[in-house]
Chain A
Amino acid sequence: MPRDTSIKSVLVIGSGPIVIGQACEFDYSGTQACRVLREEGIRVILVNSNPATIMTDPEFADATYIEPITPEVIEKIIAHEKPDAVLATLGGQTALNAAIGLFERGTLAKYGVKLIGADVGAIQRGENRELFRGIVEKVGGESALSIVCHTMDEIIAAVETLQYPVVIRPSFTMGGLGSGIAFDEDQLRQIAGAGLRHSPTSEVLLEESIIGWKEYELEVMRDHKDNVVIVCSIENVDPMGVHTGDSITVAPAMTLTDVEYQRLRDLSLQIIREVGVETGGCNIQFAVNPANGRIIVIEMNPRVSRSSALASKATGFPIAKIATKLAIGYTLDEINNDITKVTPASFEPTLDYVVVKMPRFAFEKFADADPRLTTTMKSVGEAMAIGRSFSEALMKALRSLERKEAIFTWPEITPTQKDQLLLSIAIPTEYRLQQVQRALWAGASIDEVFTACKIDPWYLRQIQIINEQAQEISMPGDLTAQLLKTAKSNGFSDAQIASLRGVSEDEVRRIRHHFSIRPVYKTVDTCAAEFEAFTPYHYSSYEEETEVRPRTVPAVIILGSGPNRIGQGIEFDYSCVHASFALREAGYETIMINCNPETVSTDYDTSNRLYFEPLTLEDVLEVIHAETQAGPLLGVITQLGGQTPLGLAAGLKANGVTILGTSPEAINLAEERGAFGNILHEQNLTAPEFGMAASELEAITIATRIGYPVLVRPSFVLGGRGMEIVYDDQSLAGFISRATDITPDHPVLVDRFLDSAIEIDVDALYDGNDLFLGGVMEHIEEAGIHSGDSACVLPSMTVTAEALIEIKEATLKIASGVGVRGLINIQFAIADSKLYVLEANPRASRTVPFVSKATGVPLAKAAARISLGSSIAELRTEGLLPASGDGQARGISVKEAVLPWNRFRRSDGRGVDAVLGPEMRSTGEVMGISPTFGESYAKSQIQAFGPLPKSGTVFISLADKNKAQGVDAAAGLLALGFRVLATQGTAQFLLEHGVTSITVRKNSEGTGPMGERTIVDMINAGDIDLVINTPVGRGTRHDGWAIRTAAVQRSIPIITTTAGFNAAVEGIRFLQSQELSIKSLQEWLA
């Protein structure tokens, strides 16, 4: 049956900001959905608060609402747009929860809107654990023994039956938020208590432990004619106990016989039918006891998920695209397989390669977080690799992570270390697989390792094969062609071979090329070559025959940004995708290289060719070689994907590759402090004073010279890692003693810190002659908070017209001084009316998508064109840039960072410290756009931290240096009817300035003589609606720490800067007086 013609307009709900457990995979799926619907001539209305997504580009929908994804706001959109249907199965748990909210409010019924994809009943049957258990039982499957609880008493009683260890799973949370494994009652109370709070229905499930079992996931699709197919089977290398998102996973399943696999398939088919997911995709997870094959059905997601994105990239079967077509009435057999063109989508992909996905974590950003992996997802990104064998795929995946620690090495290991390793691997952590590899290298047997970690022996043997290969490589004798070939086909990088042989990577490469040993490129084709593939989606392998086709159109290679991490996420993928679109429109062929399965850039539809490869010099050079053989290649774009491609630029150039746009030398000029200082000096621009210290004494001398406070950081790390602001000699000395390895080679940078300065972020384009100022953003948090974690507003609110002119002039001077061809991002600070240059990055920045959304100017597209020689003047004529003038913000846009505090716990179960600092920790961002700052800020807070309270009790505790800036805001809250609590010092100061507050006891003061509770007790009791706490210092001995960690643990909104406090009050003032307005981006930009 063809599509349902009664559907003429569809509201697509996106997934909001990137958070742990919900990342750019939903931009990938949502973008596909929007594309499909528009191709069908359906009017698309989109709501998503995340400006860094491709789907929120105005051309992907007819009406794009960058608004909070709440039932209240969506109801307004529905009332205004009157869509025929709502599609909520492609926006993750956020969209699904919003859809349930709309149903419960009666919005869907009121406006006669139907939910397509999955109806509310199916969503509830899939997500409500009790209902789902019933379904599993009905179809003859088994669930883990479990008990649903709503109170702590019920929880304690349940464990009597289930025994420890016990698994805790809160209902209706995403990414396993709040779930965990308890081995005793203390842990149980902590985890389950948090779970009750995280669950919107205050419901948790306690479950018998099946830790150590094999874990599988099947991706299932169904159409309304009840055709069902399994798109992919995924096997977790990490057995049960680690969240799938944090597990190393493999597709297809490697250790099942057909009999066992078909049992999982049968169960999946019966479950999707019984749950009643009418159309679309879902995934079902299973645990299998390795000793006897007993199967437990764990759970299902009645929607497109992170695994769906992985499965789509792993198989070439675009789940989200097909799910959308099914939702509007098509059946699987009516949809063509894009890749083969002749066969239908009603089939099951078969793989003739192995796919490995590795999670990427960010524990180094959360020093106090418990590093153990549990059933709560903690990874911030992932890399996927494809190889013709498991070892090849694994080794590629490990180097795709861009973590030195992830790559296998083969050092000498003592027997004591072996025993230590065998103990360590019992507990899953970020680098467990590397410990497993070392334990095997140290001579541990497969049995010993299996007993300790329960990783399937088949994988252990594969790792052992890699170790044996390493042993062989390290033996004396020539590096023969045969040895090189087998090493390469086992996935060894040139660098690994080089380090085993004690030679340079270049030397290994030279020998390898001398023997003509180069990778060939195979195709992901859904069908193991049974049919011809028309989609050039390639991966490398050391085999005989390559499938790269010749081409005649000049091509450009775009390097993506690799796995998501804090500091490098979807914003950079956005720019890469835009470059690809812009260059295709301009008549070039584009070739994308990336290894992040979540992204739009790795959709085979985005570029003319896709290479799913690690972003290392070796892997990129080989693709360039293959594409140079295939046809004319103009060069490589490295400035859009963030630090990853930028870091490769110099190496590529040294190997004779043309770098398009800003040259590696220019990049170096901006990054190297001395050289950049010279440019500033020549141009008469000022930077804060700084010095480099190789010892504590030197550091204190410099600090004394330039004056406290100072910003200190190790010089050899990027992205603000390890940065701190210190206010006196003592804390400086403390920093030096904590910062490891300070030597003359690795000095510490000491910068003057501009206290209470306004920080400005500028994104601009420069073509060698002209400058186009994309946007001047003012940070809401003061300088010293990492720009990625700071909220910002466009247009700037407090910068004077004179200062704006000065900023533009300075931007031009820096862009021309550095030699930019394309994008540049500059951070300025204004302190005492003086403009300081903090840093310049001649590349696409994190804020490019935000600026593009707020101004309607596609900066990344323009940058890509400038890289290929177009001038700003030409782009103005063409219409890609405005005919005249700079980027103009429409309305007032606020970008707010989203922080993952509630994902992490310390080993003792407490929350982690929520204080912002110079080190970036946010995972994503949201945007609020409206006519006023207060409303835009209020909108941004809704999605980022939960809505600002309209009334209730606020607790305020300000550091001495911040007290003065907090008075007005505190007074404002009082005037708005809030009950204001404060600690003694803050209360005293407020009183002196005419603001009355109620004094409460600090944690360190303990419970009062009359039983007065401390503030921490009150937070724990849920009596506080908003916490304002600016930090005095770091560390557990501070009261502020206890307050912040308690707030994080209870998921209470917390603000840690006075600037944020002031903005919040403005937001609350708006919320009290007016309703939130809605307006589509298309209307804003009209």
Chain B
Amino acid sequence: MCTAFLVLDDGRTFEGKSWGAQGRTFGEAVFQTGMTGYQETLTDPSYHKQVVIMTAPHIGNTGFNSHDNESEKIWVSGFVVRNPSQLVSNWRSENDLESELVSQNIVGLQGIDTRALTRHLRDRGAMRVGIFSGLDLTREEMVIEVRKSSQMSGSFLVADVSTDSPYVVAAKGDKKFVVAALDLGIKSATPRALSERGVEVHVLPFNTSAEDIIALNPDGVFISNGPGDPATMIDVIEVVRQILAKAIPIFGICFGHQILGRALGFETYKLAFGHRGINQPVIDKSTGKVEITSHNHGFALAAPTDSEFTTVFGRGEVTHVCLNDGVVEGLRLIDQPAFSVQYHPEAAAGPHDAAYLFDRFVDLMSKKVSK
């Protein structure tokens, strides 16, 4: 264990101790408020190029296992915690967290006032950050390095996280539908949730063309979560428009929601510090019911929340809104079978309140088939 530093874009520095791999790493500093689910967070591709600060102080208590991964590897570019666990206590654990971080070469940091850092990011917004551990650099040198690193706005990151070749997740029980899932950084919980509902999921690389998708003759198309700035997703947005034109049912989650929104003609914008946690209240405007949801987004969609809107694909409306700050959390087309949510009905980590959205997708496909 040696001294390590966390240096923010605006020059604020925190001194802590090394943890996980040593060396240097850069990314966008974001805080995550979940008290459980660090393993899911670490392996969520949407955190690619982000340095995640956990607000819960004790992390690593339940170790690391092979069942709770959301993808093949840890994606965060850095991991900051206050008190990493020195002992693992859980019957499913297979490894301790630090060993896992070291083996995957993830630079971490421990022992800093994570609440002070969180408040800083809350007040000043997400910003670039660097972790320097076991290095002999001056503060100025570290700040310069941070400022040379890339910004999240304008980042195209999907190519890093998407699958290279298509693969199929089989339906559990009788196969009722086939869904083409565009992998922009998909979490494994999503195909699992669909598969449990009798859906065969064809997970496709992000650059799959509309023709190739349509050639699969899917009952529905799913657009996954993923990292980066939705404004950079010009090609995928075009693919989505072509799918819309075919009136194939579409369901988008998170990044997929932003892409659907952009395909409909809306802008996306960067939130000051984003939503990252598993306690976010979202209201379903159609039922008036509140669901507690898992969030991980730094960008959001600018769409009218108080009335219907019209797009080239027909009428639509915002269906879900975050009660904390009024951010658009879901939309649907009225004349077309397409909808999306900004948050994570697949949970992992997080509550299962929104799992009904997968049923809604299945319903859309049933209606389409019966037509």
**A residues at B contact (CB < 8 Å):** 225-227, 229-230, 233, 252-259, 261-262, 265-266, 290-293, 331-333, 342-344, 346-354, 388-390, 446, 456-458, 460-461, 465, 522, 527-532, 543-545
B61–A530 touching, CB < 8 Å: no
The distance in angstroms between the C-alpha atoms of A333 and B325, with both chains bound, is 13
Q: Is the CB of A348 within 8 A of B114?
A: no
The residues of B with any CB-CB pair to A shorter than 8 Å are 14, 31, 33-37, 39-40, 55-58, 61-62, 65, 67-68, 82-83, 85-92, 112-116, 118-119, 122, 277-281, 283, 288-290, 292, 323-325, 347-352
CA distance A530 to B288 in the complex (A): 25
* A252 contacts B35, C-beta separation under 8 Å: yes
The CA of A131 and the CA of B119, in the complex, are separated in Å by 48
Q: Is the CB of B87 within 8 A of A461?
A: yes
CB distance from B207 to the nearest CB of A (A): 32
Residues of B within 8 A of A346 (CB): 281, 290, 292, 323
Once the chains bind, are B33 and A458 in contact (CB under 8 Å)?
Answer: no
Q: Which residues of A are found within 8 Å of B88, using beta-carbon distances?
A: 458
| CB pair B116 A544 closer than 8 Å | yes
Residues of A within 8 A of B288 (CB): 225
CB proximity of B346 to chain A, nearest CB, Å: 12
A915 to B2, CA, bound (A): 64
Interface-central residue, A225, A348, A354, by most chain B CB under 10 Å? A348
Closest 10 CB pairs of A and B: A258-B37, A461-B87, A545-B116, A528-B55, A258-B349, A458-B89, A544-B113, A348-B279, A258-B36, A352-B55
Q: Is the interface of B mostly helix, strand, loop or mixed?
A: loop
Closest to B273 in A: A530
- Asked whether A266 and B352 contact (CB < 8 A) given A226-B289, A456-B89, the answer is yes
Interchain Cβ contacts under 8 Å between A and B, 9 examples: A256-B62, A258-B39, A258-B40, A292-B91, A333-B283, A348-B279, A458-B85, A465-B86, A545-B116
Select A543's contact among B65, B113, B289, beta carbons within 8 Å. Answer: B113
In angstroms, Cα B39 to Cα A254, docked, is 15
* Structural contact, A530 and B33, CB atoms closer than 8 A: yes
B324 touches A261 (CB 8 A): no
Contact between A543 and B89, CB atoms less than 8 A apart: no
A530 x B277 contact (CB < 8 A): yes
A-side interface mostly: loop
Given contacts A343-B324, A347-B292, contact A257 B92 (CB under 8 A): yes
Supposing A225-B289, A457-B89 touch, asked if A347 and B36 sit within 8 A by C-beta, the answer is: no
Q: Are A254 and B61 in contact (CB under 8 A)?
A: yes
- A446 → B minimal CB distance (Å): 7
A695 and B180 alpha carbons, distance in the complex (Å)? 92
Which of chain A's residues have a CB closer than 8 A to the CB of B65?
257
Cβ distance B283 to chain A, nearest Cβ, rounded Å? 6
Q: Are B281 and A258 in contact (CB under 8 A)?
A: no
Bound CA span A257–B91, Å: 10
Residues from chain B with a CB closer than 8 A to the CB of A254 are 58, 61
Is there an interface contact between A389 and B89, defined as CB atoms closer than 8 Å?
A: no
Assess the A290–B91 pair: CB atoms within 8 A. yes
Contacting pair B113 A344 (CB below 8 A) = no
A257 near B39: Cβ-Cβ < 8 Å? yes
Q: Are A389 and B57 in contact (CB under 8 A)?
A: yes
**In the assembled complex, which residues on chain B have CB atoms less than 8 Å from the CB atom of A544?**
14, 112-113, 116
- A291 and B91 contacting across the interface, CB-CB below 8 Å: yes
Min CB–CB distance A239 → chain B (angstroms)? 12
Instruction: Provide the residues of chain B in CB contact with A350, threshold 8 Å.
Output: 33-35, 55-56, 277-279
Complex alpha-carbon distance, A531 and B351, angstroms = 21
**From residue B222, how far is it (CB to closest CB) to chain A in Å?**
22
Q: Are A229 and B116 in contact, with the CB atoms below 8 A?
A: no
Check if B61 sits within 8 Å of A458, measured CB to CB. yes
The CA-CA distance from A47 to B278 in the complex, in Å, is: 41
CA distance A255 to B62 in the complex (A): 6
Among A342, A460, A530: residue with most chain B CB under 10 A: A530
Tell me the smallest distance from the CB of A373 to a CB of chain B, in Å: 23
Is B35 a contact partner of A354 (Cβ separation < 8 A)? no
In the bound complex, do residue B86 and residue A461 qualify as a contact, i.e. CB atoms below 8 Å apart? yes
Known contacts being A266-B352, A528-B55, is A347 close to B281, with CB within 8 Å?
A: yes
Pair A543/B116 contact, Cβ less than 8 Å: yes
Which residues of chain A are within 8 angstroms of B323 by Cβ–Cβ distance?
333, 343-344, 346-347
Contact B33 A333 (CB under 8 A): no
Q: Which residue of B lies closest to A293 (CB)?
A: B91
Q: Select which of B36, B290, B352 is within 8 A of A257 by beta carbon.
A: B36
Known: A225-B289, A258-B350, A343-B324. 11 other contacts (CB 8 A): A233-B35, A258-B68, A290-B91, A346-B292, A389-B82, A457-B87, A458-B88, A530-B31, A530-B33, A530-B277, A544-B113
Inter-subunit contact B57/A388 (CB<8 Å): yes
B348 touching A258 by the CB < 8 A rule? yes
Do B116 and A262 have beta carbons less than 8 Å apart?
Answer: no
What residues on A are CB-neighbors of B35 within 8 Å? 233, 252-253, 350-351
Question: When the two chains form their complex, are residues A347 and B324 in contact, meaning their CB atoms are under 8 A apart?
Answer: yes
Q: Bound complex: CA of A829 vs CA of B83, how far in Å? A: 59
| Residues of the A chain whose Cβ atoms lie less than 8 Å from the Cβ of B283 | 333
A227: chain B residues at CB < 8 Å are: 289-290
Q: CB-CB < 8 A to B61: which residues of A?
A: 254-255, 458
